[in-house]
A = this chain, B = another copy of it.
């Protein structure tokens, strides 16, 4: 009889309950992969009296992290609590007491990754975090291990399931943004306070983690240009479709020499391409490596069991010793990889513009004249015969050819100051492949 490995779990919410369920229901299968049984020894929660949907067989509950950190029989702990505090202090406490940590907390890593990773390395411990990005999609392993022979050239991801659910509902049902958000909340795909999801924060934090893995640098997530989906309306989606595109919240990092260009925001993706076909709560990641070419991964990016699947895979990896190796080599990456990042000033791509113009003669000539002065050439224009007035304006939709983003931004700021424009114009990136 092989001695089981005893683990601790911190947090018994949706993900924590899923992890316990998986460890119990698939115990035989998991113990074969781990080479020994995995037993939940102790659980730390915020309220021990709360009624739980799962029973922890033999696991004793406490609200005190020392219940786990000071137990020498526990070597691996899954930290499955969200937010920054007390999660950060708890991880520090666990690492200082010699525990290897598995976590799904992307906000914690995006905010405090450098110090936590450094602490783990000093303590000769590891942090595994497959579940922190794209749920069940093994993107952390893919970048950190499977594509190790490649220099990564770009990563594009749909990393926030809530936003993607909302956009898919708007596009397929013609719902308004607010109705789609309510439906997402009703179906458990959005929190009561969805702001971190719909304003792009969540996707940006995940992008910062992927960039760390791919390029060995920690870019502070708050410095990454970010736009959410909360400013989108259904008309934008309809115009995009008319041009052969869908709108997705896309997180992008491109490498050019020693610079990284990063951003998160709604972008037009061509119908028929993998990102455009990513619907509902699914996540997707497209990576280009110099040797492997373009790789595409698609799967459930959130939800109880997909996330639990990634957490338990990390627990197994930590138990058998793979995580320690990977965590050590990942730390060696940041030697001569890109160390600066750029704010997309050099980006050349197609742009989608919606400008609300006064419905009177000469307007189109004036707008296109300003674009032309900035070297922006127009691929297509849509202006429908809608009833507008000089006061409310009518939408003018323009798809540009490839041009510098900085030129488009400058042109738009001039256009928005003219007396023929009503309200603020919208400018979105266009991703053609």
Contacts and interface: CB of A to CB of B under 8 A. Distances in A.
Interface in A305-330: 305-306, 308-310, 312-313, 316-317, 320-322, 325-326, 328-329
A333 B34 CA distance: 10
A320 B316 contact: no
Contacts of A33: 148-149, 329, 332-333
A225 interface: no
A299 B306 contact: no
A419 interface: no
Contacts of A299: 292-296
A300 interface: yes
A290 B137 CA distance: 14
Contacts of A386: none
A50 interface: no
B145 A313 contact: yes
A317 B146 CA distance: 9
Interface string A150-177: 1100000000000000000000000000
Contacts of A88: none
Contact of A272 (B30, B277, B293): B277
A1 interface: no
B305 A35 contact: no
Given A35-B328, A322-B322, A292 B145 contact: no
Contacts of A313: 145-149
A326 B332 contact: no
Contact of A22 (B30, B149, B297, B329): B149
Nearest to A139: B146
A322 to B, nearest CB: 5
A310 B148 CA distance: 9
A291 B316 contact: no
A282 to B, nearest CB: 9
A364 interface: no
Contacts of A130: 146
Interface string A185-216: 00000000000000000000000000000000
Contacts of A335: 32
A171 B218 CA distance: 46
Nearest to A272: B277
A114 interface: no
A293 B308 CA distance: 11
A308 to B, nearest CB: 6
A274 interface: yes
A26 B297 contact: no
Given A274-B274, A293-B300, 9 more contacts: A30-B148, A34-B329, A35-B332, A138-B138, A141-B141, A147-B309, A150-B309, A289-B309, A322-B326
14 contacts: A29-B149, A32-B329, A136-B289, A136-B293, A141-B145, A141-B146, A289-B309, A290-B305, A292-B299, A293-B303, A295-B297, A296-B297, A321-B321, A322-B325
